[in-house]
Structure 1
Amino acid sequence: MSEIAVTSYTELIAGINAQREALGVRMSDFDDLAGFPAGLTGKAFGMLQVKRLGPEKLFDALRAAGLRLKLEPDPEQLEKMKQRIADNFNPRQANQARACHSSTTPSSAVLTRVFKAMGRSGGKERWRRKSKKDISAHMRMMVMARERKRRKAKRLANQRRLRAKLAEQAGAQI
């Protein structure tokens, strides 16, 4: 297969499909080669193209067809884009965010995504593993803590009231 310039998804899919046909591989066999679910090749490469390939599946299809991508500037399109950029956009300022800079490291973003799912089921899972006796003891401790907090708040309110009363009496005597 000779080099083909591709500028759209449809052209890319047509190129992959042409390579598949040149190799003489049936669509059902291409599913196995690319690691696709049964029938995905027919839906993605067929006449109607009822399914589209996402980034991972697209590169799986390229590898299965024995192809690779090569990015190169298109002089005509590059000139058009430079003109549009000059007309419509301001140049990047020094204090703007730069490429490859982010507020969080990639690892913390991944950890957040992973732990978020774990956090949703964490309490439920912990309670499911406890025996009825442990749950009862935990509930008893929760009630005791709540009552302790309520008594402390009541005691502090009484102290405030008493101080205010004493301050009022002291003010009346002067």
Structure 2
Amino acid sequence: MSRPAPSSPPFKTDQHCLSEESIGLLVKQVYQSITRMVDREMAPLDLTAMQWRPLLLIAKRQAETPAELARLAGVDTGAITRTLDRLESKGLLRRVRCQEDRRVVRLEITEAGLATCAQIPPVLARALDPHLRGFTVQEAETLSGLLRRMIANGSCPG
């Protein structure tokens, strides 16, 4: 089965990248708007946008060391260490030395952390819902698909 010929990029000039219609600029503005609203909605939980995601990743056992967490969160280890310090001081997680290799630190969620994590999904929905106001379910699904496609395209060479 032959593949269709690749289409040419929809934007060929640098001018578009500088315009108010730049897709990159629009995506960034949406991200910033959602992040501001998430921060505002997370305030009653005493969490910031930088703190809730690592907490959920640990709770879901998708990361169990600071290095894994930094990689998944897309931040450097210094930033993760500061975030973990804050979450630990709030009693939401604890760091435990691995008995087999004392150089390794494992991250464990506390009962308080689990209780907080249970409150995060509705908070995220409250922050996202206004951004999707007026969208049909089909439009939201199309947007999600297009964004996933952009992410996949960005992670493939060529």
TM class, shorter-length: under 0.3
- Does 1 or 2 have the higher relative contact order (CA < 8 Å, sep 6+)? 2
More strand per residue: 2
**TM-score normalised according to structure 1 size:** 0.21
**TM-score normalised according to structure 2 size:** 0.23
